[in-house]
């Protein structure tokens, strides 16, 4: 809701403004003693951290500890009387509060896991994004990383049939790198709602010639968009180094083995059912919590199988077993998926939710895609999977320039 205009004369009043951002320079401009910066700067950043199913004794300790240092914790109403075994806890405070809380928790036995969780969520390591794909380490300083979509299918919802000619597909992949793509995602099977599965042999025949050629002609990683181990194996042999699996390595029991043995990067996406049936199962209680829980379990399954955490990426699966409102909820809360501790990918390009809002066909959704790309970039999404690489690259460049406060 817009702020109402009620300006009257302010002569004699102090001039004031709500700051979009405040940092150490802002503090120094107020004339503070530089020696006070370590004390004041953490107070500029507020965080709300939700920790689920905390045991009663731990919830009480968190509540009392945060209150003692000026923060607070919202807990179940029955915590104070002891009439509950567990409580969700919403911790509220600035960075200084959380730093002091960690110091207090270090003296408490039995709270090591909670302390580590707080440390990882509130004080994550900073720096460029790094992932390991097939024994090669990749580092990106310009974020979000742009993944260009190259569908060699006759029936994909947006670009089906455009790149069936191998020579056109290869030229398009090369052009995407020139336009600023950091990865190229090659797919040989449509995953649009209602799409029917194709056989592995047919899928391989579509993607392998493209991957083999691109692997010798581009310098950026290539991913294979598939749920089949035989396709993933063939693609990696041809030069791909990332497996982008909409089933989160759950459909084909051999997919985990391929990912582990090759060291390929892995994109784990949330979906219910299959593309053919997924839109029949779109009801959720708490959609964000359910997606995060699912992806957390899939991450743990990968780690248990011997797949390195530095190879993993998660995708909340916009448009896969989601309603229009569910997709918007994902976008609104997209930053929360970073709590999983691995990079977040968003596949939003030309999706039906954009079409519903703008009342336009799939080939007329670029401005809507751009708006979501910009929102996702500002919210800290790590990878954008898009059809039009050049537009995403320009969006990233503008946002990066604004953040750096230089033209």
Task: Tell me the domain boundaries of the chain.
Answer: 41-122, 129-404
DSSP letter, residue 189: S
Write out pLDDT tens, residues 359-387. 999 999 999 999 999 999 999 999 999 99
Cβ 242 vs Cβ 133: under 8 Å: yes
pLDDT mean across residues, the chain? 94
- pLDDT of 153 > 60? The answer is yes
Residue 266: φ, ψ to 5°: -135, 125
- CATH number of the domain located at residue range(s) 129-404 in this protein: 3.20.20.20
Q: Is 227 exposed, middle or buried (0-12, 13-18, 19+ CB in 10 A)?
A: buried
Mean pLDDT of 246-270: 98
DSSP letter, residue 195: P
Sign of the torsion formed by the C-alpha atoms of 63, 65, 66 and 68: positive
DSSP letter, residue 23: -
Write out pLDDT tens, residues 211-253. 999 999 999 999 999 999 999 999 999 999 999 999 999 999 9
Nearest to 373 by CA among 187, 159, 146, 131: 146
- CATH label, 41-122, candidates 3.40.1350, 3.30.870, 1.10.3120, 3.30.1370: 3.30.1370
pLDDT bin (cut points 50, 70, 90) of residue 1 is: low
User: What integer pLDDT is reported at residue 407 of this predicted model?
Assistant: 39
Q: What's the pTM value of the predicted model, to 2 decimals?
A: 0.92
Q: CA torsion angle for 279, 280, 285, 289 (degrees, to 10)?
A: -40
Cα→Cα distances 232→120, 145, 162, 292, 313, Å: 33, 22, 23, 25, 17
CA–CA dist 301, 304 (Å, integer): 5
Neighbours of 8 (CB within 10 A): 6
Residue 158: φ, ψ to 5°: -110, -50
CA–CA dist 255, 213 (Å, integer): 24
According to DSSP, the β-strands at 86-94 and 46-55 are antiparallel
DSSP letter, residue 22: -
Cβ partners under 8 Å of residue 247, min gap 6: 227, 269, 271
User: What integer pLDDT is reported at residue 160 of this predicted model?
Assistant: 55
User: What integer pLDDT is reported at residue 406 of this predicted model?
Assistant: 46
Cβ 215 vs Cβ 242: under 8 Å: no
User: What integer pLDDT is reported at residue 158 of this predicted model?
Assistant: 59
CA–CA dist 29, 61 (Å, integer): 39
DSSP letter, residue 279: G
E strand or H helix that includes residue 345: strand 345-347
DSSP string, 71-131: -EEE--TTTTTT--SEEEEEEEEEHHHHHHHHHHHTTSTT-HHHHHHHHHHHS---SSEEE
Catalytic residues: 351, 385
Q: CA torsion angle for 333, 336, 338, 343 (degrees, to 10)?
A: -20
């Amino acid at each position: 809701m817009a702020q109402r205009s009620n300006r009257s004369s302010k002569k004699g009043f102090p001039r004031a403004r709500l700051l979009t951002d405040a940092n150490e320079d802002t503090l120094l401009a107020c004339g503070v003693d530089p020696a006070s910066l370590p004390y004041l700067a953490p107070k500029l950043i507020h965080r709300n951290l939700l920790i689920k199913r905390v045991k009663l004794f731990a919830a009480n300790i968190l509540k009392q500890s945060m209150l003692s240092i000026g923060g607070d914790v919202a807990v179940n109403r029955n915590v104070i009387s002891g009439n509950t075994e567990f409580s969700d806890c919403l911790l509220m405070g600035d960075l200084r509060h959380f730093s002091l809380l960690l110091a207090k928790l270090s003296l408490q036995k039995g709270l090591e896991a909670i302390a580590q969780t707080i440390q990882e969520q509130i004080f994550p390591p900073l720096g460029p994004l790094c992932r390991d794909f097939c024994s090669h380490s990749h580092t990106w300083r310009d974020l979000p990383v742009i993944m260009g979509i190259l569908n060699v299918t006759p029936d994909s919802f947006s670009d089906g049939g455009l790149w069936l000619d191998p020579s056109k597909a290869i030229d398009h992949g090369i052009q995407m790198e020139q336009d600023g793509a950091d990865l190229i995602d090659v797919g040989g099977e449509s995953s649009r709602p209602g799409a029917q599965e194709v056989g592995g042999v047919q899928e391989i025949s579509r993607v392998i010639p493209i991957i083999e050629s691109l692997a010798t002609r581009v310098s950026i990683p290539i991913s294979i968009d598939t749920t089949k181990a035989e396709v993933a194996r063939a693609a990696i042999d041809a030069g791909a180094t990332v497996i982008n699996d909409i089933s989160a390595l759950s459909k084909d029991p051999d997919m985990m083995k391929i990912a582990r043995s090759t060291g390929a990067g892995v994109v784990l996406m949330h979906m219910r059912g299959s593309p053919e049936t997924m839109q029949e199962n779109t009801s959720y209680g708490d959609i964000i919590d359910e997606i995060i829980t699912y992806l957390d379990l899939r991450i743990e399954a990968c780690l248990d199988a011997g797949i390195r955490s530095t190879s993993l990426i998660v995708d909340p699966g916009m448009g896969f077993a989601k309603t229009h409102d569910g997709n918007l909820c994902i976008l609104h809360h997209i930053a929360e998926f970073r709590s999983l501790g691995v990079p977040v990918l968003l596949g939003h390009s030309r999706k039906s939710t954009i079409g519903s809002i703008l009342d336009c066909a799939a080939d007329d959704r670029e401005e809507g895609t751009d708006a979501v790309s910009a929102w996702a970039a500002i919210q800290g999404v790590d990878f954008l999977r898009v059809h039009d690489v050049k537009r995403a690259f320009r969006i990233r460049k503008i946002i990066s320039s604004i953040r750096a406060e230089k033209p």
